[in-house]
Structure 1
Amino acid sequence: MNTPTATRLQAADASVTVLSNTAFVTDWARRYFGPWWNAFEVPAGSVGAGPLVTADVDATSYTDLAALLAAVPHSETAYAKARLLLARDSTGTITAVSPDEQLAYRSEQLGGQVTICAHAPEPVALAAARIAREMIRAALLRDGWTLLHASAAVRDGRALLTFGDKGAGKTTTALLMASRGAQLLANDRVFIKYVSTELRVLPWPSAAAIGLGLLDALGLYEVVRDRLRAGEQLHPTQHQDVTDALLAGNREPLWEPGGKRERKVQVFPDQFADWFGMELATSGRAAALLFPRIDPTAAPARINGERSLHEGDFMSGATEDRYPDHFGLAHGIDGGGSDLARADVANRLAALPHHQVVLGHDVSANADFLTKISESL
């Protein structure tokens, strides 16, 4: 019998413990959340009360839950791009099965206790990380935090938040600053709340999506290819075409059928430090807002513009189509926080310096330019 192991995640006042009969699952949680959410090992026998994800590799438990669900009325929906069969009983317990992934879920105590089981360790680890992250998110939103659709880099505790639509340069900006000594806090979204006298910012852990062209421009392409050729792996959500392209030395962007969405490299959070030498930030103080646009022919510069924070810069339930709250974790709170929290943050962000900039394709010049802005905050 495997010895149970446990990992605890902590973000501000929110915490969740991941408990498993397989060390692969808890090791995965520490790797995925790492310093961003203060993931650390705890004795499995001292887990105690509090939010808990129990994630076991257990084929028998999966079969039992699948049989239980099949015997009661249930609905069919989707979660994490997979088919999900779902039932709720009179006590509020939610049972769900993803037959294609051979994953089963059971959510009890109003989403405070979630059990996951499957035949293989990797699907359990992925599912446990998703659920644990959603439990932390729900706790933070209930505590008055809200979620911004922004990247962030931190220098001396001061966070520069970068906003923009797809392709505007959010990820580019954060990685360029991290390559010049700033700490990377997030490449796509951040938690934010006014605490005491400042706007505090927390990371949203996730695999970072980096296009092949950007990876090459940042001088990181060879690092990734060499690691892959040595047998190391990127995040499993990465499309096989991207892995094949890296191994073959192809640096051109890859597109999904139809050409509307780029297939990108999916980087584990810990790989920013281990592979790229970039330090991760656990928090920061919002100091300024940046609104970039990319012009391949331009030199980096400040520009005049009317772009400011708007409703689309806040995450919401409508933007969370991949992970709807099927397991009753959010207790009715919108996926991006309350209207009151969003309004308060928007008003306070409006008072911070706003920088409208254009970035070209000279990576070194862009990095120098952004570093000067961050150092001036």
Structure 2
Amino acid sequence: MNTPTATRLRAANASVTVLSNTPFVTDWTRRYFGSWWNAFEVPAESVCAGPLVTAGIDDGKYAETLALVTNGPHDDVTYAKAKLLLVRDGTGDVTGVSPEEGLAYRSDQLGNHVAITGRTPEALALASARIAREVIRAALLRDGWTLLHASAVVHEGQALLAFGSKGSGKTTTALLLARRGARLLANDRVFVKPVGGELRLLPWPSAAAVGLGLLDALGLYDVVRRRLQAGERLHPTQHQEVTDALLADRREPLWEPGGTRERKVQVFPDQFSTWFGMELAAGGNAATLLFPRIDPSAAPAVINGARTLNEADFMSGVTEDRYPDHFGISQGINGGGGDVARATVADRLAQLPQHQVVLGHDVQANADFLAKLTDVG
């Protein structure tokens, strides 16, 4: 049995400790969160209080939990795109098993301690990171933060937020500005809270989804391909077809069956720095709102329109459908924050400078336009 190791995550006033008999798990936690949240090793023997995720490789215990759950009444639900068999006992504790991933979960009724048993280190590390992130999110939301559906970069402490639905250009806007010298704060969502006269922002660490076409247009495709050819890896949630396309030098977009959702490159947070040379920001103050729209035939420009913030610009239980709160971690709070906090943030954001913009397919022209508009680079 390996000696347990521990990593603590901290974001604002929220914290959680990941404790594991598999160093791969705690190493993964520090790598995954360290670029955006404060992630540091702590002595395992000092872990005695506070929110806790314990993770261990144990085939016997996994098999025992699987048998216990499948041989009795249970609910069939979905978590992280995988089937999860779920049982709630009379005390409010929750036990879940994902046969597809070889994972078993047990959470206490308050979500303060989630124990995960796995059969492989990588699956265990992924699950531990997801749960630890949910613990931090729940604590931040209870502390008055809200979670926006937006991309963001920071320049000289001031954050530029890009809003829009899928395909609107949020990620394009953020990455173009990051390539011009701004620091990347968020690819798809960001925490926000009024503090004094400012709207403070915190990142939401996650693998960033970047389409093959956008990767090529940004001049980053060959960087990724060379790294993969050298044996390095992208995030394991990336579909194998995307990896195969990169290795075969195929640059056209890939689509899931039905053609409604693009299969994209999944980039680790730290790979923005190590692979792409982009600096990451651990926080900032909201300063400007951008509402981009992509029109392949258009020249980049500021446009007139009535686009304002709406409910879709805040994350919620509905928009978090990949990781529903089966384990009771959120204690019932909306996935994007409380109603009062959301209303306050929406009112404060509405007072900031706003620009509706159209972007074309000329990447250099887009970059020059955004840099001039925002004083970046």
Q: TM-score, normalised by structure 2?
A: 0.97
Counterpart residue number, 1:152:
152
- Could you tell me how far 1:68 is from its partner in structure 2? 3.1
Q: Deviations over 1:94-132 (max 9, x none)?
A: 111111211000101510000001111011011001101
Select between 198-207 and 101-110 the one with higher mean Cα deviation.
Answer: 101-110
Q: What is the 5 A alignment of 1:166-185?
A: 166-185=166-185
Query: 1:155·1:374 contact (CA, 8 Å) conserved in 2?
Result: no
- Could you tell me how far 1:343 is from its partner in structure 2? 0.5
RMSD: 1.2
Distance 1:250 1:189 in 2: 29
Distance 1:144 1:218 in 2: 37
- Could you tell me how far 1:65 is from its partner in structure 2? 2.0
Distance 2:363 2:17 in 1: 41
Counterpart of 1:218 in structure 2: which amino acid? L
1:137 aligns with 2:132: no
Structure 2 residue matching 1:30: 3-state secondary structure: helix
Q: What is the 5 A alignment of 1:196-275?
A: 196-275=196-275
- Could you tell me how far 1:71 is from its partner in structure 2? 5.0
Counterpart of 2:368 in structure 1: which amino acid? D
Counterpart residue number, 2:324:
324
Counterpart residue number, 2:315:
315
- Could you tell me how far 1:173 is from its partner in structure 2? 0.5
Counterpart residue number, 2:89:
89
Counterpart residue number, 2:291:
291
Distance 1:234 1:152 in 2: 22
Query: 1:148·1:315 contact (CA, 8 Å) conserved in 2?
Result: yes
Counterpart residue number, 1:103:
103
Counterpart residue number, 1:123:
123
Structure 2 residue matching 1:115: 3-state secondary structure: strand
Select between 314-323 and 145-154 the one with higher mean Cα deviation.
Answer: 314-323
Query: 2:91·2:109 contact (CA, 8 Å) conserved in 1?
Result: no
Structure 2 residue matching 1:125: 3-state secondary structure: helix
Q: Deviations over 1:174-214 (max 9, x none)?
A: 11111111110011011111012210111111100000010
Q: TM-score, normalised by structure 1?
A: 0.97
Query: 2:25·2:125 contact (CA, 8 Å) conserved in 1?
Result: yes
Gapped regions of structure 2 (runs ≥ 5): none
Counterpart of 2:13 in structure 1: which amino acid? D
Select between 127-136 and 43-52 the one with higher mean Cα deviation.
Answer: 43-52
Select between 12-21 and 297-306 the one with higher mean Cα deviation.
Answer: 297-306
The aligned length equals 376
Counterpart residue number, 1:112:
112
Distance 1:167 1:89 in 2: 43
Distance 1:368 1:23 in 2: 45
Query: 1:145·1:341 contact (CA, 8 Å) conserved in 2?
Result: yes
Counterpart residue number, 2:188:
188
Query: 2:109·2:328 contact (CA, 8 Å) conserved in 1?
Result: no
Structure 1 residue matching 2:36: 3-state secondary structure: helix
Counterpart residue number, 2:367:
367
Distance 1:72 1:90 in 2: 14
Counterpart of 1:199 in structure 2: which amino acid? L
Select between 364-373 and 110-119 the one with higher mean Cα deviation.
Answer: 364-373
Select between 79-88 and 204-213 the one with higher mean Cα deviation.
Answer: 79-88
Counterpart of 1:300 in structure 2: which amino acid? P
Structure 1 residue matching 2:35: 3-state secondary structure: helix
Counterpart residue number, 1:8:
8
Q: What is the 5 A alignment of 1:336-347?
A: 336-347=336-347
Q: Deviations over 1:324-370 (max 9, x none)?
A: 11101011111111111110000000100001111112212211221
Structure 1 residue matching 2:95: 3-state secondary structure: strand
Distance 2:304 2:262 in 1: 30
Distance 1:46 1:272 in 2: 33
- Could you tell me how far 1:258 is from its partner in structure 2? 1.2
Query: 2:163·2:292 contact (CA, 8 Å) conserved in 1?
Result: yes
Gapped regions of structure 1 (runs ≥ 5): none
Counterpart of 1:175 in structure 2: which amino acid? L
Identity in percent: 74
Distance 1:82 1:89 in 2: 22
Counterpart residue number, 2:32:
32
Select between 58-67 and 109-118 the one with higher mean Cα deviation.
Answer: 58-67
